Amino acid sequence: MTNIFVSPGKYIQGKGALKEAGNHIRSLGTKAMVIGGGHGLQAVSKVLAASCREAGVESFEELFNGECCDSEINRLAKAALYKNADVIVGAGGGKALDTAKVTAWRQNLPLVIIPTIAATDAPCSACAIVYTVDGVVEKIESSPKNPEIVLVDSKVIAKSPERLLVSGMGDALATWFEAEACSLTKAPNCVGGTCTEAALMIAQTCYENLLEYGLDAVAACKANAVTPALEKIIEANILLSGLGFESGGLAAAHSIHDGLTALEETHSYYHGEKVAFGTIAQLILQDAGSDMLDEVIDFCISIGLPTTLTHLGLADSDRQKLMPVGEKACAKGTFMANMPFPVTPDAVVDAMLAADAIGKAAII
Ligand SMILES: [Zn+2]
């Protein structure tokens, strides 16, 4: 297997970056269809439209209906065709961005991603999760190319709820440990190659920056203020974690996240919150040592990421209750196979129970 590293064509981040969006979009097309949910469009609409106008780009908005499913993607693709859009812009987070991605790929149009929250590391990636109309995961759709442009206005992120930024840090927290596991086993990354030195270094810097700037970034976000610490964390959550996970690979932390979704009680918790707990469990599985474990758990507690089962709605969960999580996490075809040793459902349950106990003790 050869090493493969992928990335978006251009990454732009800064306070007021949205004002420059038109010029960047102009390099890809002259008629932009902007897809976003209510919140996403509200956050960018005025400045983006003005910026496009100034740059000589015609733009129009299509409100995302809330589900990234085939019927919605087909509706948007038809709108793009009917109105002769030659570039797709996605604004918002999660499913709205995924919908914009798949719409662009299926129409073979260039894609600009404008995240308005920094809650996951998905924006830079070349994959998207497609659901059924009822919201059940149907497939992961991927493209041979990442978004042409990812543009992040730090002022917009500073105005988003801090819990979303914290959740993004939970997603980013896993990146280094998962990339390291994949590199040890020469497991395939998310684009079918093995991990480059570049991806590993990026993943490591992601972790270091979380520890150094995470707490200050949360404070800044609470105050809706753009500071150098917030800039570092936005970059860690979106760019460093995005490149790190896609070109580094995923392992136990994300498998345990997927396992946790088997329990209804965890559904109201964000992706990154479950990934953070999965990261702690991964460190226990791989016997990372108490210094490393303390460092990660203290970090999680300091910024408000879950460190106990209670924090994920699973108070008083016993082995039997958690077993479906272990089973789903270790099922065939999961990222668990990327760990440097075989992991059983029983071992995952042990790791989660131990994580919970250590997390509880650390809080006291
Ligand atoms: Zn993730």
Please report, for the chain, the start and end positions of each structural domain, with discontinuous segments joined by +.
10-156, 162-363
pLDDT band at 293 (very low <50, low <70, confident <90, very high): very high
User: Could you tell me the two tokens for 121?
Assistant: 């590391």
pLDDT band at 364 (very low <50, low <70, confident <90, very high): confident
Q: Is the pLDDT of residue 225 over 90?
A: yes
Closest listed residue to residue 196, CA positions, set 182, 206, 175: 182
Query: Can you give the C-alpha Rg of the chain in angstroms?
Result: 20
CATH code assigned to 10-156: 3.40.50.1970
Q: Is 171 a catalytic residue?
A: yes
pTM score, two decimals? 0.97
Q: Is 254 a catalytic residue?
A: yes
Which listed residue (171, 258, 311, 356) is catalytic?
Answer: 171
pLDDT band at 135 (very low <50, low <70, confident <90, very high): confident
**Mean residue pLDDT across the chain:** 97
Domain 162-363 adopts which CATH fold?
Dehydroquinate synthase-like, alpha domain (1.20.1090)
CA dist 6 and 248 (Å) reads 10
Q: pLDDT of 90-108, one tens digit each?
A: 999 999 999 999 999 999 9
Bridge partners of residue 92, in order along the sequence: 115
Q: pLDDT of 242-277, one tens digit each?
A: 999 999 999 999 999 999 999 999 999 999 999 999
Rounded distance from Cα 248 to ligand 1 centre (Å): 12
Which listed residue (98, 254, 311, 356) is catalytic?
Answer: 254
Rounded distance from Cα 271 to ligand 1 centre (Å): 7
Q: pLDDT of 36-54, one tens digit each?
A: 999 999 999 999 999 999 9
Cβ-contact 245, 272 below 8 angstroms = no
β-pairing, 127-131 vs 137-142, is antiparallel
Q: Is 271 a catalytic residue?
A: yes
Closest listed residue to residue 99, CA positions, set 134, 60, 136, 72: 72
pLDDT band at 134 (very low <50, low <70, confident <90, very high): confident
CA dist 120 and 159 (Å) reads 16
